[in-house]
Amino acid sequence: MSGTRLAWVGVLALAGAARAADGPAGEKVDAKLLTLHRDEARRWDVFVDAGLTTRADFVPEPVFRWTNASRANGQTGAMFVWTFGGRPVAMGGVFSNPEGGRRVVMHEVHALGPARIYPRLRDSAHVWAPAAAVPLLPLPDAPAPAPDPKAREQQARALARGFTAHTVDDLGQRWQLRLLSRPLYRYRAAGREPAEGTVFAFVSDAGTDPEIVLVLESVNDGGNASWRYRAVRFSISSLFVQYKGRDVWTSLRNDPKNGYLDNPDNTYHLLRDRLIDELPELANRRQAGP
Q: What is the pLDDT of residues 43-67, one digit of tens each?
A: 999 999 999 999 999 999 999 999 8
C-alpha 130/C-alpha 14 separation (Å) is: 30
CA distances from 233 to 53, 62, 141, 245 (A): 28, 18, 24, 20
4 inside domain: no
Residue 205, pLDDT score:
77
Q: What is the pLDDT of residues 76-92, one digit of tens each?
A: 999 999 999 999 999 99
Surface-to-core class of residue 21, CB atoms within 10 Å of its CB (0-12 exposed, 13-18 middle, 19+ buried): exposed
Cβ(112)–Cβ(88) under 8 Å? Answer: yes
Residue 223, pLDDT score:
73
Half-sphere exposure of 112 (CA within 13 A, CB side): 32
Q: How many domains does the chain have?
A: 1
Q: What is the DSSP letter of 153?
A: H
1 inside domain: no
31 inside domain: yes
Cβ(262)–Cβ(236) under 8 Å? Answer: no
Q: Which of 114, 124, 123, 106 is nearest to 84 (CA)?
A: 114
Surface-to-core class of residue 252, CB atoms within 10 Å of its CB (0-12 exposed, 13-18 middle, 19+ buried): middle
Q: What is the pTM of this model?
A: 0.86
Please tell me the total number of residues recorded for the chain in this structure. 290
Cβ(90)–Cβ(77) under 8 Å? Answer: no
Residue 173: which domain range? 10-288
171 inside domain: yes
221 inside domain: yes
Residue 289, pLDDT score:
47
C-alpha 179/C-alpha 290 separation (Å) is: 34
Q: What are phi and psi of 153, to 5 degrees?
A: -60, -45
237 inside domain: yes
Residue 257, pLDDT score:
54
Cβ-count burial 109-124 (b if 16+ within 10 Å, e if not): bbbbbbebbbbbbeee
3 inside domain: no
Residue ranges of the chain with pLDDT lower than 70? 1-25, 70-72, 192-193, 254-262, 283-290
C-alpha 92/C-alpha 199 separation (Å) is: 13
196 inside domain: yes
